[in-house]
Amino acid sequence: MTCDDSSSSFTSAFTQQDKYPLSVIYCGNCSLPFEYCEYNSPEEFQRCLLWRRENYPELFSTYDESLLSDALKNVTVSESLTKAVENNNRSAKKKAPPSPEVVVTKAQRKGRKQVTIISGLDKAGVKLSEFSKVCKKQFSCGASVVTAPDMREVVEVQGDHLQETLVLLKDQFSVPGEYLYVMDDNKRKVHAF
């Protein structure tokens, strides 16, 4: 085989393939390409086939029609849709939003220096920068918004101001007492009040 023969076979193979960029159609039910719908659960796949038949009848083949008829033998469409709605409602009821937790912790820095770290303020509706400014004035110390190792923003106040911070949060910033937690010596969260 010469160089000319290999290049001609390459170009002939390339022209036989699809033209780029490819146009991919996604299912409106599961948001996957049509080829991957069959990997869903049987009920979900049935809904995908129904959606495909309604929206893209030209792409709905006899193969898809036989799959749909097999799926419809045991379960009617309305029953499967009502089951899906019921399952959705059950999962929505189970997932109640978690209550915000404001955790106040003391940490040791170099030597005998301590800092008070307050996390979870943003979930309780308190602006971090506003809270740090109030702490600076109230406690006459440094306070700033920093990024914790777990990539959350927390307020760090210089000094041991654990009890004063809890009172400030409860009285001035109206954070309910059941949202306030303190880290004890064993690194466990304990209700503050």
Taking only the tens place, the pLDDT of each residue in 51-62 is 887 888 777 665
Q: Which band of pLDDT confidence, cut at 50, 70 and 90, is reported for residue 1? A: very low
191 vs 127: which has the higher pLDDT: 127
Average pLDDT value for residue range 40-67: 75
CA 49, CA 29: separation in Å to the nearest integer?
9
Instruction: Check pLDDT > 80 for residue 121.
Output: yes
φ/ψ of residue 156, rounded to 5:
-115, 120
CA 119, CA 169: separation in Å to the nearest integer?
12
Greatest mean pLDDT among 75-84, 159-168, 177-186: 159-168
46 burial type by CB count under 10 A (0-12 exposed, 13-18 middle, 19+ buried): buried
Q: What is the pLDDT of residue 97?
A: 60
Q: What is the pLDDT of residue 92?
A: 52
Question: pTM (2 decimals)?
Answer: 0.51
What is the distance in angstroms between the CA of the first residue and the CA of the last residue of the chain? 85
Q: What is the pLDDT of residue 98?
A: 67
My answer on whether omega of the bond before 42 falls inside 30° of 0, hence cis, is: no
Share of the chain above pLDDT 70, in %: 70
